[in-house]
């Protein structure tokens, strides 16, 4: 939509420069305000999350298992993508907690659910 407004303004400027219109109408064309990620939903409903996790659990390839682990970390612990990306195997104490290295001054361990 923003591109259409820009093209229309360009056409109106051309028409004014070539004296086909008496006044320049291009400043009167206002492009819609679009924000980054405007169309992306901010949250998923519980049933949507369950459907995604169920779909991911069907893929038993190594990449599918990796994807399922990432989705579980997102859904269960609410970790951010950067925290998951920076997570190392040494950050996991398999008996008690995960330390995801959040962007805070001190680490916040997350308990592992059983």
pTM for the model stands at: 0.51
> Residue ranges of the domains in the chain?
1-40, 42-78, 79-114
Closest by CA position to 25, among listed 46, 41, 10, 40: 10
pLDDT per position as a tens digit, 69-87: 899 888 888 888 888 888 8
**Cβ-contact 25, 51 below 8 angstroms:** no
Write the CB contacts of 113 (distance below 8 Å, at least 6 apart in sequence). Answer: 76
**Cβ-contact 75, 48 below 8 angstroms:** no
pLDDT per position as a tens digit, 16-63: 999 999 999 999 998 877 666 666 667 788 899 899 999 999 999 999
């Amino acid at each position: 939509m923003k591109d259409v407004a820009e093209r229309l303004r360009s056409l109106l400027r051309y028409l004014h420069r070539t004296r086909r219109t008496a006044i320049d109408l291009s400043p009167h064309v206002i492009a819609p305000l679009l924000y980054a990620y405007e169309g992306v939903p901010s949250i998923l409903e519980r049933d949507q999350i369950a459907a995604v996790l169920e779909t991911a659990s069907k893929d038993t390839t190594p990449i599918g298992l990796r994807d399922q682990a990432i989705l579980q970390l997102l859904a269960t612990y609410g970790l951010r993508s950067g925290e998951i990306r920076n997570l190392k195997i040494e950050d996991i104490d398999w008996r008690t907690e995960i330390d995801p290295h959040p962007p805070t001054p001190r680490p916040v361990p997350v308990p592992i659910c059983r």
